[in-house]
Amino acid sequence: MTGTLILVRHGESDWNLKNLFTGWRNPDLTEKGIGEARATGVKLKAKGYVPDVYFTSNLRRAQHTLDLMLEEMGITEVTITRSLKLNERDYGDLTGLNKDDARVKWGEEQVLIWRRSFDVPPPGGESLKDTAARTLPYYESTIVPLLKAGKTVLVAAHGNSLRSIVMAVEGLTPEQILKRELATGEPVVYQIGAEGQLEGRVEI
């Protein structure tokens, strides 16, 4: 029995467009982001995907992305589970700052360390390791059993919470996951076996 895991990073948000550290702040999608979400819904429908279960974060941009995908897929009256465990990484004192301004304030090298190291958090915020520490137990306890049972699961969330899941699914090292970029609105689809193991990735 094979389950299907569909991961989708939210479409472009207003703060993505403005080059701001977003974290747990709650901007909505831009017009481009709305288009990205709708396009992904069209792609998934064209491939015949009808998810059994739906998850998203507590943040508007991910929720709106999921709603738009479902609209394009013609799926209504479903139960959606929302959890802060799937929220984006908390950027702490960087939240709301323009990334260029942050480089001026703290120096390019320090900001790069905060953004691209696995276990060094920004002041008051989370590292990718911290993000994984809340996302992965939720994934393992709540989502993996559904996949083992052969369900199709759609998760609309954020770059860093989804990278934590990708790291677990693909068995990547911290160094490898740091190099993995997830484009806004683009689906990543995995086939998961009855023991929870990766059986393959599907190109959409």
Q: How confident is the model at residue 193 (pLDDT cuts 50, 70, 90)?
A: very high
Q: Which domain holds residue 197?
A: 3-202
Token pair 């941009």: residue: 61
How is residue 142 written in tokens? 């709540």
Does residue 204 carry a pLDDT above 90?
no
pLDDT > 90: percent of the chain:
95
- Amino acid, single-letter form, for residue 73: M
pLDDT for the residue numbered 1: 81
Beta strands in the chain (DSSP E): 3-9, 53-56, 80-82, 152-157, 187-192, 198-202
pLDDT for the residue numbered 53: 98
Give the burial string for 153-188 (b: 16+ CB within 10 Å, else e).
bbbbbbbbbbbbbbbbbeeeeeeebbeeebebbbbb
107-147 pLDDT tens trace = 999 999 998 899 999 999 999 999 999 999 999 999 999 99
Q: Which positions are annotated as active-site residues? A: 10, 88
pTM: 0.95
Q: How many domains does the chain have?
A: 1
CB of 167 within 8 A of CB of 118?
Answer: no
Across 2-21, average pLDDT: 96
Does residue 40 carry a pLDDT above 90?
yes
Q: What are phi and psi of 44, to 5 degrees?
A: -65, -40
CATH of the domain at 187: 3.40.50.1240
